[in-house]
């Protein structure tokens, strides 16, 4: 195998214990997700969100280039109308550190789909070309047209739509490893 023990050690060492190994070819990519990003998401147009992302078909092909991946579930009690941005930035930093450590362990193709729209910079340029932190900017699974709910459920994990507030929300990151 690919050294799962080493990667498990890295992920656990950053404080993430709620994750599951997957085959990226099993990630569900759907056009409807792109439409929800385009019409209904306040992140639309930011530097790592549509229209600054590959086409749905390109995203689907991209996932098939990987043999291994992790779904990392991050749970947080929060008010759905007051997203916990400080917590999200802290999680992004930890996830980027995981990606870097996995890369330095010999997995040069490792790629993170972040648990949220990119929140690296306080003020986003809303353009990949003009992004001021291209090294750390990562797209979310949704911006790559991932049907997060079905993909997570197919992996055997629970995820639900947040109906009440405050409530526990689940944010999903995907780490692709090759």
The tens digit of pLDDT for each residue in 50-82 reads 999 999 999 999 999 999 999 999 999 888 777
**pLDDT, mean of residues 147-176:** 93
* pLDDT for 115 beyond 70: yes
Question: Residue 130's pLDDT band (boundaries 50, 70, 90)?
Answer: confident
* pLDDT for 144 beyond 80: yes
Cα 98 versus chain centre, distance: 13
Please say whether the beta carbons of 146 and 34 come within 8 A: no
For position 104, what pLDDT does the model report? 96
| Residue-wise DSSP of 51-69 | TSS--HHHHHHHHTT-SEE
For position 165, what pLDDT does the model report? 85
Question: Residue 121's pLDDT band (boundaries 50, 70, 90)?
Answer: low
| Residue-wise DSSP of the chain | ---HHHHHHHHHHTT---EEEE-GGG--B-HHHHHHHHTT-TTTTSTTSTTSS--HHHHHHHHTT-SEEEEEEEEEEE-TTS--HHHHHHHHHHHHHHHHHHHHTT-TT-EEE-SSS--SSSS--S-TTT-S-TTT----TGGGTB-HHHHHHHTT-------SSSEEEEEEEEEEE-
**pLDDT, mean of residues 5-13:** 97
Tokens found for residue 93: 């930093």
Domain spans of the chain? Answer: 4-177
* pLDDT for 1 beyond 60: no
């Amino acid at each position: 195998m690919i050294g799962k023990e080493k990667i498990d050690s890295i992920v656990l060492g950053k404080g993430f214990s709620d994750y599951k190994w997957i085959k990226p070819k099993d990630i569900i990519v759907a056009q409807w997700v792109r439409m929800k990003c385009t019409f209904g998401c306040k992140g639309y147009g930011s530097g790592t969100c549509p229209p600054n992302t590959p086409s749905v078909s390109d995203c689907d092909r991209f996932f098939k280039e990987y043999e291994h991946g992790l779904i990392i579930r991050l749970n947080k009690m929060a008010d759905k109308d007051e997203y916990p941005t400080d917590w999200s930035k802290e999680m992004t930093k930890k996830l980027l550190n995981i990606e870097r450590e996995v890369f330095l362990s010999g997995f040069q193709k490792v790629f993170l789909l972040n648990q949220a729209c990119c929140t690296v910079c306080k003020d986003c340029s809303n353009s990949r070309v003009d992004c001021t932190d291209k090294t750390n900017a990562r797209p979310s699974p949704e911006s790559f047209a991932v049907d997060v709910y079905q993909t997570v459920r197919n992996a055997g994990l629970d995820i639900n739509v947040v109906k009440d507030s405050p409530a526990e929300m689940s944010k999903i990151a995907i780490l692709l490893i090759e």
